[in-house]
């Protein structure tokens, strides 16, 4: 039986996952992994199966709730929802006003998260190294794509939700970034902030379908090919560092639906070149401090998670 403190900590983990999922380049799956709830989350999601439908059909709600680990999912989803609704506007504002400190913070967060995930590899082999390289290559390719102009039709919003939610439960690949690639990042954030119920329901339906399908695949890979799967996931995280590099120069821009000029395609530059190429101070010392803050925060979460494990 879980104690209140356990549920409170789970709620906080949900808030952290939701915060990460709002940011293009950071994954809620990363937070789930380093806080020790990743496999439990996958198992809970995939328990929504034929047996669960049978319980529902027979109105055996207590059995259904226990079968799907309902309390765990409810508390975690409450934390995620709280974060998405309250922080969506805050985080997008911070990224617009203070991009270098924010991206530096996430850079440090992802570096230590990747190292922590590599620790989960039980046995190293040539295959694991190849898996890491493949993960790095895939993440680099995905995060270097240019955002596309896409239709606002309901069917496409459904597909965007299905694909993005798959990325959201993968450490290293950001669902928010997938939405950015689909041209639906601002669209979905606006729908959430303005409570456009129809769009939220369509997007949510896509998320449910994608989540129920993809969780089974990832869980199977974890059970059958644990070390290779962890290798690929850690590679995803390392490869995604390209996206969260704090110093970028816009090569192409576009005008969004609000009339604001936004970068369409950016390239990374070194801090010492940033001022000359953009005319903006690189704030290098400040960036180092925020990167260290992200590094230490994840390290603290990891230590706290280890301390709170049963038996300690």
pLDDT for the residue numbered 291: 92
pLDDT 10s per residue in the chain (312 long)?
457 777 888 898 888 888 777 765 567 777 787 777 888 888 888 888 888 888 888 888 889 899 988 889 999 989 988 887 787 677 767 877 888 998 898 888 778 878 877 888 888 999 999 999 998 898 788 767 666 566 778 888 898 888 888 776 776 666 776 776 677 777 787 787 777 888 889 998 998 888 888 878 887 888 889 899 888 888 887 887 887 889 988 777 666 656 666 666 778 899 988 988 888 889 999 999 999 998 888 788 777 766 655 555
CA distances (Å), origin 198, targets 81, 195, 201, 294:
17, 9, 5, 36
Report how far Cα 73 is from the mean position of its chain's Cα atoms: 17
Phi then psi for 292, rounded to 5 degrees? Answer: -65, -35
Neighbours of 273 (CB within 10 A): 13
> Among 182, 189, 205, 170, which residue's Cα sits nearest to residue 42?
170
Dihedral class, residue 247 (left if φ above 0, else alpha if ψ from -120 to 50, else beta): beta
pLDDT for the residue numbered 1: 45
pLDDT for the residue numbered 2: 53
Q: Using the 8-state DSSP alphabet, how is residue 153 labeled?
A: -
State the Cα–Cα distance between residues 177 and 168, nearest whole angstrom: 9
Q: Where are the alpha helices (DSSP H) in the chain?
A: 4-22, 28-34, 38-46, 50-57, 61-67, 70-97, 99-118, 126-143, 154-168, 175-181, 185-193, 197-224, 226-239, 241-244, 271-278, 284-308
Q: Using the 8-state DSSP alphabet, how is residue 269 labeled?
A: -
Q: How many residues does the chain have?
A: 312
pTM for the whole structure? 0.70
pLDDT for the residue numbered 250: 79
pLDDT for the residue numbered 150: 64
State the Cα–Cα distance between residues 292 and 279, nearest whole angstrom: 26
- Work out the angle at residue 44's Cα, subtended by the Cα atoms of residues 197 and 160, and round it to the nearest 5 degrees: 40
Compute the half-sphere exposure of residue 274: CA atoms within 13 Å on the CB side of its CA.
Answer: 16
pLDDT for the residue numbered 310: 52
> Among 72, 28, 26, 65, which residue's Cα sits nearest to residue 48?
65
Q: Locate 293 and state its tokens.
A: 């803050």
Phi then psi for 242, rounded to 5 degrees? Answer: -60, -40
Quick one: which H or E segment has residue 282?
A: none
């Amino acid at each position: 039986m879980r104690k209140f403190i356990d549920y409170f900590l789970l709620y906080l983990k949900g808030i952290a996952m939701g915060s990460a999922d709002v940011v293009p380049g950071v994954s809620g799956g990363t937070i789930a992994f380093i806080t020790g709830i990743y496999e439990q989350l996958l198992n809970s999601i995939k328990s929504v199966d034929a047996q669960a439908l049978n319980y529902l059909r027979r109105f055996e709600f207590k059995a259904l709730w226990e079968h799907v680990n309902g309390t765990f999912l409810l508390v975690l989803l409450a934390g995620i929802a709280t974060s998405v609704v309250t922080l969506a506007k805050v985080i997008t504002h911070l990224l617009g006003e203070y991009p270098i400190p924010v991206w530096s913070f996430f850079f440090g967060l992802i570096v230590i998260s990747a190292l922590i995930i590599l620790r989960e590899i039980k046995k190293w082999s040539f295959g694991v190294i190849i898996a890491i390289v493949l993960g790095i290559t895939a993440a680099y390719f995905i995060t270097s794509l240019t955002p596309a102009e896409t239709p606002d039709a309901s069917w496409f919003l459904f597909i965007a939700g299905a694909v993005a939610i798959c990325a959201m439960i993968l450490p290293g690949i950001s669902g928010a970034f997938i939405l950015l690639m689909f041209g639906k990042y601002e669209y979905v954030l606006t729908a959430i902030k303005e409570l456009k119920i129809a769009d939220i329901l369509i997007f949510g339906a896509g998320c449910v379908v994608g989540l129920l399908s993809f969780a089974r695949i990832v869980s199977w890979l974890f059970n059958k090919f644990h070390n290779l799967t962890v290798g690929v996931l850690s590679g995803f995280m390392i490869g995604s560092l390209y996206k969260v590099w704090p110093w970028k120069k816009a090569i192409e821009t576009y005008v969004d639906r609000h009339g604001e000029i936004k970068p369409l395609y950016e390239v990374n530059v070194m801090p010492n070149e940033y001022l000359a190429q953009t005319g903006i101070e690189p704030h290098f010392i400040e960036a180092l401090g925020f990167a260290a803050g992200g590094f230490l925060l994840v390290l603290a979460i990891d230590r706290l998670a280890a301390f709170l494990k049963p038996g300690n």
